[in-house]
């Protein structure tokens, strides 16, 4: 039982770290603060993160990042469209 809890906590830490790295990269490259981030897919090699930012309209504008141990790179919507659902 404790192994499942430990694995869940580690996954939460990994997702939080990936979202933080994506927000940090977004802030450094675009010069504006993001509203937040959401992990769309988490795998051991790569995590896909959606970063939302205020652009004067609803829904907020979005940027997507592929976060791995070595790099954080921005990806296009076409690469992550299958992970996105409709905005509610």
pTM across the whole model: 0.87
Q: Is residue 76 part of a domain?
A: yes
Which is higher by pLDDT, 66 or 82? Answer: 66
The predicted structure's pLDDT at residue 67 = 97
- The tens digit of pLDDT for each residue in 23-47 reads 999 999 999 999 999 999 999 899 9
Q: Is residue 85 part of a domain?
A: no
SS (HEC) of 69-82: CCCEEEECHHHHCC
Q: Is residue 47 part of a domain?
A: yes
The predicted structure's pLDDT at residue 59 = 82
Confidence of residue 60 (pLDDT cuts 50, 70, 90): confident
What tokens does 40 get? 């769309």
43: CB partners within 8 A, 6+ apart: none
Q: Is residue 49 part of a domain?
A: yes
Q: How many domains does the chain have?
A: 1
Q: Quote the mean pLDDT of the chain.
A: 92
State which residues form the domain around 47.
2-80
Q: Is residue 19 part of a domain?
A: yes
């Amino acid at each position: 039982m404790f192994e499942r809890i430990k694995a869940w906590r580690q996954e939460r830490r990994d997702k939080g770290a990936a979202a933080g790295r994506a927000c940090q990269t977004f802030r450094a490259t675009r010069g504006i603060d993001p509203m937040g981030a959401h992990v769309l897919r988490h795998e051991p090699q790569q995590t896909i993160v959606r970063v939302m930012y205020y652009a004067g309209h609803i829904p907020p504008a979005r940027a997507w990042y592929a976060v791995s141990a070595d790099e954080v790179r921005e990806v296009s919507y076409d690469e992550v469209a299958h992970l996105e659902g409709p905005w509610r």
